[in-house]
Amino acid sequence: MTEPLLLIDTADGIRTLRINRPDKLNALNAGVIDALDAAFADAGRDPAVRVVVLTGAGPKAFVAGADIAEMHTLSPAHGRDFSLRGTRMMRRIEKLPKPVIAMINGFALGGGLELAMSCHLRIAADTAKLGQPEINLGLIPGFGGSQRLLRLCGRAATLELCLTGAPITAERALQLGIVNRVVPAAELEAETGKLAAQLAAAAPLALRGMLDCVNIGGECGLEEGLEYESAQFGLMFATHDMREGTAAFLEKRKPAFTGT
């Protein structure tokens, strides 16, 4: 029986997606890309899901890159199609109205780093290695690596990572702003679970509004971004969760958010 490409588990509002190709270091092929695209579309629609955690199976890799064996024989047109396929999937993650946490348990190289960067937050094991080594294959990043790195850590670091292809440690990635947190490998799942639980307990509509503000603000001018934030802020006053949150604060109790 063929193993599923993606292992899916949901508990307490947290959906965990685990790429399941440990023998290939969870390399991204067309099948994995399509499975991730469908899984994130479903997570976005499912009201029972408040947070998504994305990781890789096995102890060695989050995702060690795109599947080189699959790419080796592609024509220029098929190469572009493969790039667009992965880019569309990662853009879906980036635009998901629910927080997505990349739990980086090992190598996040090439397409793996690109996948992690499309997530909203990134927690890495202290043993993880990250990088964009496509230059060593006669390639450039194809799933948005140059663009997301540029926005996360600036021009100089982006050029260094992409031109040399050299991997960096999790600590260096933290210094550059590529990951949010670095934790001991043995504590990665527990620490990621704590953050996911914190987000799952927050007001879902406020989370969505915040994600929208950052996504829109990152792609427009300051004045437009400020106007969009004010509009979203006003919309929160139409929600039950805003009344519940403010009432709970005044009454010195924990709020119970419902997503309405």
Q: What is the CA radius of gyration of the chain?
A: 19
Q: What is the pTM of this model?
A: 0.95
CA–CA gap between residue 66 and residue 259 (Å, rounded): 37
Just give the CATH number of 6-200. 3.90.226.10
CA–CA gap between residue 35 and residue 113 (Å, rounded): 18
Q: Distance between alpha carbon 146 and the CA centroid of its chain, in Å?
A: 16
Each of the 260 residues of the chain gets a pLDDT tens digit; together they read: 678 999 999 999 999 999 999 999 999 999 999 999 999 999 999 999 999 999 999 999 999 998 888 889 999 999 999 999 999 999 999 999 999 999 999 999 999 999 999 999 999 999 999 999 999 999 999 999 999 999 999 999 999 999 999 999 999 999 999 999 999 999 999 999 999 999 999 999 999 999 999 999 988 999 999 999 999 999 999 999 999 999 999 999 999 999 99
Fold of the domain built from segment(s) 204-250: Lyase 2-enoyl-coa Hydratase; Chain  A, domain 2 (1.10.12)
CA–CA gap between residue 204 and residue 258 (Å, rounded): 8
Other Cβ atoms within 10 Å of 181 Cβ, number:
15
Q: Distance between alpha carbon 28 and the CA centroid of its chain, in Å?
A: 15
CA–CA gap between residue 254 and residue 160 (Å, rounded): 46
CA 194, 196, 197, 199 torsion-angle sign: positive
Positions marked active-site: 114, 134
Task: Write a three-state SS string for 159-214.
Answer: HHHHHHCCCEEHHHHHHHCCCCEEECHHHHHHHHHHHHHHHHCCCHHHHHHHHHHH
The residue ranges of every structural domain in the chain are 6-200, 204-250
Any bridge partners for residue 28, and if so which?
66
